[in-house]
Amino acid sequence: MKQNVVKQTTQIILLQMHQTRVIFLSLILLICFSNNFYSQNKILSKNEIEKLVTDATKNWKIHDYEKSLRQSRTALKNAIVINDNYLIARCYNLIGVNFDDLLMLDKAYPFYIKALYYIDKTENNILKSKIHNNLANICFFEKKQYNQGIFHYKKALEYSNKASDKAKIYLRKLNITWAYFEVGNFKESLEYFKYINEFKQHGDKSTQVAFNMLNGIYYDHKNDTVKANFYFSKAIALGNKSDEKFDLSIAHQKYASFLFKNKNYKKAYENIIEFNRITNEIADLAKQKKTKLAGVNLELDEFKREVDKIEAEYKKKQQILQREQSRHKKVFSIIVVLFLIITILFYFFYQNTKLKQKNRIKNIQNKIHQNIINASIDGQESERKRVALFLHDTISASLSSAGMHLNVFLSQNSTVPDEIIKTKFILDETHDKVRDLSHDLLPTLLVRFGLLYALDDLCEKYSNSTLHFEYQNTISSKKRYAEKFETRLYFIISELLNNIIKHSKATRAEVSLSETENHKHLIIKITDNGKGFDINDFNFVEGFGLNQIKARINNLNGQFDVKSKINEGTSIKITVPLDD
């Protein structure tokens, strides 16, 4: 009996040793296969990648965007493989400038951000300055994020100073001057404005139009009409001789504003016409450039997604390879050191890995779910802001321009057809509707005076003879929070008030705001005396959109509590943390 037990035990040990050898040999074969696989995929050398980037840059300059984008993508793949941060940054920036040149600024922006991430890991101040300047242009002229734009312009100047490039220093200071002028901050701009006038020899033909235009704006601000008129005229004359169409279009726009302010309506009208003509010409030129991409065997959005995948895929492969190599070393060292217990150790290692994998997958799923919610919220707010700015800056501006032309026409003609007068009334009415829609999408009170004023106005606007909204606030009305924070809270509260109006059948509601004693949290309470609802009724809660509102508040790291009973009204409490 004892001999049988010993024999069985020996057989089990031999079987386990055999299984271990099989596993070990399989892992060795996997390593050999992996090495063979990577050897078959030729990786370009650093010099070859640099040449490819140089060729892509040349093709961008001659507007061969198809070839430039393809070369940039290939260079990027290989730069990531050799882990050269400078080359990776160059590739991302070059892809960005291709889209920038095609006026596809929404696609250029994320590539500039990635370029900045990698170039910050290097000491190359020249490329740092270029990337910050590219980002500043998009933030300022496209996104209307003026503070962010000025920040990037100043960072570009900082790195140009480190590189001791006088021409770039001059250009950066000219851009900062323009930025401050655009937001009407002439006090902060004075230092930079004096510099560009004192050292204008460091400028070139590309800066002359902007330089004279900025002088025109400055002297217009100083009410020196003679000098302002001189510089505006000079800027336009130089612009007509150069290729700086964007600067020329802005010069016409600013000159038209100056002339209109000084009641020279006819000449203002002529400059507005020129501004519109050049702007359309720039847009047509961009369309012509985009036609050169016809026949590319990939859509531009697909190109962006593919480039985004390059880095993620490579990192994933590297992680898999590193995990496999680490596992091989562990298995090999265990076999050498303690061969007899390898099966047990391998078993626990496998179980532990499996458990970690399950936990990791669960965490990833939670993160993906939260990211989807966050992306949806950010997308809605971004689109709301973009549409509002488009209505305000483009449609409203165009209607105002058309109205100005009609006013000039009416002032010059004593008798006009009724159709012209009706047209003017229609334009005014349309302008008012566009303005109201723009304010609904992004309320002016919210932007200018903040959340507290905007909510007070919202309660007053929603109150009527059947339902009164009472607003109570223990916080100073002048207090402002972060713009994104205020915008999100405003639309959350606005949605809750709309629910009261649509569903509650209440006659009275109250909105109150307060801060905790340590000023770390903002507390918002919304109550009504309406018909209430069963908070356990999922369809009812979902119909009110409360689950989505709760997710948006979770995105602010806040708490959302709802208390309601049928025929006893509803009470909502929102608590959100305030950043220092």
Q: Would the pLDDT of 2 be above 60?
A: no
d(CA 42, CA 36): 11
Please check whether residue 454 is in contact with residue 473, taking contact to mean a CB–CB distance below 8 angstroms: no
Per-residue pLDDT, 40:
44
3-state secondary structure of 531: coil
- pLDDT band of residue 438 (cuts 50, 70, 90) is low
CA distance to 155, 238, 325, 331, 346, per residue, from 20 (Å):
59, 81, 17, 9, 9
Number of helices and strands in the chain (H, E): 22, 5
Q: Quick one: pLDDT band at residue 468, thresholds 50, 70, 90?
A: very high
Instruction: Supply the pLDDT for residue 408.
Output: 72
pLDDT, tens digit, for every residue of 389-402?
566 556 766 766 67
Say if residue 322's pLDDT is above 60.
yes
Neighbours of 342 (CB within 10 A): 21
Question: Considering the chain, what is the average pLDDT of its residues?
Answer: 80
Give the pLDDT confidence of 194-211 residue by residue, as tens digits.
999 999 888 888 889 999
Nearest residue to 484 via CA among 147, 75, 1, 4: 147
For residues 392 and 399, give the distance between their C-alpha atoms in angstroms, rounded to a whole number.
10
Q: CB-based contacts of 465: which residues, under 8 Å, 6+ apart?
A: none
Q: CA distances (Å), 169 to each of 130, 147, 155, 421, in order? A: 11, 20, 11, 53
Percentage of the chain beyond pLDDT 90 is 29
State pLDDT tens for residues 324-337.
777 777 777 788 77
